[in-house]
Amino acid sequence: SGNNWGYGKENGPSLWHKQYPTAKGSRQSPIDIVPHQLSHDPSLGPIVPNYDQCTSLNISNNGHSVAVEFDDSDDRSVIRGGPLDNPYRLKQFHFHWGGKGCHGSEHTVAGNSYASELHLVHWNAVKYKTYEEAATAPNGLAVLGIFLQTGDDHRWLHTITDALYMVKFKGSVTDFKGFNPKCLLPSSLHYWTYLGSLTTPPLHESVIWIILKEPISVSERQLSKFRMLLSTGEEEDQRIHMENNFRPPQPLKGRRVRSSV
């Protein structure tokens, strides 16, 4: 069937092109970011996330990652500025991570990967009526990528990791209200930006990527809780732990990566 893609040997990223030919497109993500080859663009202003009226609804396990969904019926939680010509509404955030001791970010920096990567997914509700429509349109989405490196405990990540046992199985969802993702941002909002795609099927080339240069620190203990999640459902006999759910870097194909200040 159409949606049996995954990150394993039999259904992983190198095979996705069979079902999703866009996998070999001209603006695929993630990419390797090579800082000293970048053009610093003085016209790029700061990005302005505004998540204060946080409208988180639930946390769920979709078999590929764990995601916190937001009420995107109005402009309470948006990101503005930077490369964006409209405010983009926050829809969900989710993570990508590795196996024990392995790295699991999607984007890499000068060939180096981080332990994990957080994606805050936003859509252009000015130009498009629905998230689904925006996700198929060029630049309909803006994804804010934040690298996670292992170090000290993250002061606020426990709010998320403490809820993971409730969504252990694929297809599970539980209430998760009032979470303000501002607490997951690093102190500096300096960023790199380029035009790319979803990093999982259907791999639509609809994303303006904004990758923050400064990683946040989380502890190995906090990260290990993500690996307790299962990519299999409660009813399945086989229990497969969710880990290494990242797509490797894709060809740049002549794209420019711009740097904020």
Query: Looking at 17, 36, 64, 241, which residue is catalytic?
Result: 64
Closest approach of Zn ion to the CB of residue 119, in Å: 4
Closer residue to Zn ion, CB minimum distance, 125 or 207: 207
Closest approach of ligand 7QY to the CB of residue 161, in Å: 19
119 part of the interface to Zn ion, by CB under 5 A: yes
103 part of the interface to Zn ion, by CB under 5 A: no
Contact set with ligand 7QY (CB under 6 A): 65, 119, 121, 135, 141, 143, 198-200
Closest approach of ligand 7QY to the CB of residue 70, in Å: 13
Closer residue to Zn ion, CB minimum distance, 12 or 45: 12
Three-state secondary-structure class, residue 218 = strand
Alpha-carbon distance 81 to 47, whole Å? Answer: 5
**What are residue 85's phi and psi, to 5 degrees?**
-95, -5
Alpha-carbon distance 139 to 126, whole Å? Answer: 12
Alpha-carbon distance 261 to 258, whole Å? Answer: 10
Closer residue to ligand 7QY, CB minimum distance, 118 or 218: 118
Closest approach of ligand 7QY to the CB of residue 98, in Å: 15
64 part of the interface to Zn ion, by CB under 5 A: no
Three-state secondary-structure class, residue 89 = strand
The span of 17-25, 117-125, 182-190, 246-254 binding Zn ion (CB under 5 A) equals: 117-125
Q: Other CB atoms closer than 10 Å to residue 157's CB: what's the count?
A: 22
Closer residue to ligand 7QY, CB minimum distance, 122 or 225: 122
Structure tokens at 119: 């994606």
Closer residue to ligand 7QY, CB minimum distance, 143 or 167: 143
Closest approach of ligand 7QY to the CB of residue 170, in Å: 15
Q: Binding partner of residue 222 among ligand 7QY, Zn ion, none, CB under 5 to 8 Å per kind?
A: none
Does residue 40 carry a catalytic annotation? no
Phi-psi region of 90 (alpha: psi -120 to 50; beta: other; left: phi over 0): beta
Alpha-carbon distance 107 to 147, whole Å? Answer: 9
Q: Which of 20, 63, 58, 82 is nearest to 209 (CA)?
A: 82
Alpha-carbon distance 117 to 114, whole Å? Answer: 7
Q: Binding partner of residue 164 among Zn ion, ligand 7QY, none, CB under 5 to 8 Å per kind?
A: none
**What are residue 224's phi and psi, to 5 degrees?**
-65, -25
Which residues contact Zn ion by CB under 5 A?
Answer: 119
Catalytic amino acids?
A: 64
